């Protein structure tokens, strides 16, 4: 898989403040790469450098083989961008906006794809925030870009609109488009991403394929300790066991199947009921918080 987005030693400064401190990224053709981090972690600044909206203070950036800042015209024609915020002429309609954006655009098809066909002739100032956000994506996709940059694309969307946006993103991935996504919705990244990087204080704290990043964290088992039993009654488990004063037991384990089987065998053998029993592999939220704590 060839890389279509690359950053090596990327640094970006605002005066004396260094917002991005030596970031290395590679995004392969046809994959969705999620760039995550808390507010102030440097992800939007990194994205702006990759989009060509700012020149790096140091390091190199390449998109489709070009420097996106120096060769902006060559890159812009082959990429689509959804910014965190965008301004629209209030008195235009979605159909007019699409035709202004790209003269040969099939406006009706683009609006239909984002469930905006019924609003094609409504003034933009009358659209809801979620509808304007979907129009942002329609504009980014109308040129059938090879690379799509999505900066918080589902902010302000209701659950149904967010689900439809995810479906559209999967569709363009299937068509071969490479996607770089930033989002505060971790379930969004977990649902869509092939690979990811988590930024903290301007540096990459965690990176890799999603499945490997999740597998590196312990799984979790939780249950309420049966009445009249204390910790000594539990079977031997391979993970770390934490007891709360309320009687809740949490187990962090590297072998979920083994420890869950041992626990269930113990409960069955002694005729015990484990109330509020739950078991799950690590989530991206677990990884995110661990990255902040360890940096």
DSSP string, 38-55: -TTSSHHHHHHHHHTSS-
Sign of CA dihedral 287, 292, 293, 295: positive
Cβ-contact 96, 129 below 8 angstroms: no
Q: What is the mean pLDDT of residues 45-51?
A: 95
Cβ-contact 116, 134 below 8 angstroms: yes
User: What CA–CA distance (Å, rounded) separates 61 from 137?
Assistant: 24
User: What CA–CA distance (Å, rounded) separates 247 from 276?
Assistant: 11
User: CA nearest 188: which of 161, 221, 224?
Assistant: 161
User: CA nearest 140: which of 78, 93, 205?
Assistant: 78
Buried-exposed string 212-250: b where 16+ CB fall within 10 A, e elsewhere: ebbeebbbbbbbebbeeeeeeebeebebebeeeeeeebe
Phi first, then psi, for residue 44 (nearest 5°) are: -70, -40
DSSP 29: T
Tell me what percent of the residues of the chain surpass a pLDDT of 90: 71
Ranked by mean pLDDT, the top range of 3-12, 39-48, 125-134 is 3-12
pLDDT tens figures, 110-141: 899 998 999 999 999 999 888 899 999 999 99
pLDDT tens figures, 169-220: 999 999 999 999 999 899 999 999 999 999 999 999 999 999 999 988 999 9
């Amino acid at each position: 898989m060839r890389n279509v987005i690359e950053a090596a030693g990327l640094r970006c400064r605002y005066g004396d403040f260094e917002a991005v401190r030596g970031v290395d990224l590679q995004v392969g053709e046809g994959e969705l790469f999620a760039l995550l981090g808390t507010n102030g972690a440097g992800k939007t600044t990194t994205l702006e450098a990759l989009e060509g909206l700012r020149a790096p203070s140091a390091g190199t950036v390449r998109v489709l083989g070009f420097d996106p800042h120096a060769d902006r015209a060559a890159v812009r024609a082959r990429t689509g961008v959804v910014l965190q915020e965008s301004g629209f002429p209030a008195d235009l309609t979605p159909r007019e906006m699409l035709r202004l954006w790209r003269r040969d655009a099939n406006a009706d098809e683009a609006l239909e794809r984002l469930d905006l066909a019924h609003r094609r002739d409504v003034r933009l100032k009358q659209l809801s925030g979620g509808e304007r956000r979907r129009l942002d994506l329609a504009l980014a996709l109308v040129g059938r870009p090879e690379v799509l940059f999505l900066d918080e694309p589902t902010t302000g969307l209701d659950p149904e609109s967010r689900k439809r946006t995810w479906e559209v993103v999967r569709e363009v991935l299937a068509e071969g488009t490479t996607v770089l996504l930033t989002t505060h919705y971790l379930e969004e990244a977990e649902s869509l991403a092939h690979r990811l990087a988590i930024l903290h204080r301007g540096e990459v704290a965690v990176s890799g394929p999603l499945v490997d990043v999740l597998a590196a964290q312990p799984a979790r088992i939780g249950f309420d300790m049966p009445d009249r039993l204390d910790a000594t009654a539990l079977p031997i488990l391979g993970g770390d066991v934490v007891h709360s004063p309320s009687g809740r037991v949490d187990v962090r384990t590297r072998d979920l199947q083994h420890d869950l089987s041992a626990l269930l065998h113990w409960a069955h053998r002694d005729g015990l009921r484990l109330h509020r029993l739950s078991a799950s592999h690590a989530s991206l939220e677990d990884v995110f918080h661990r990255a902040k704590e360890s940096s």
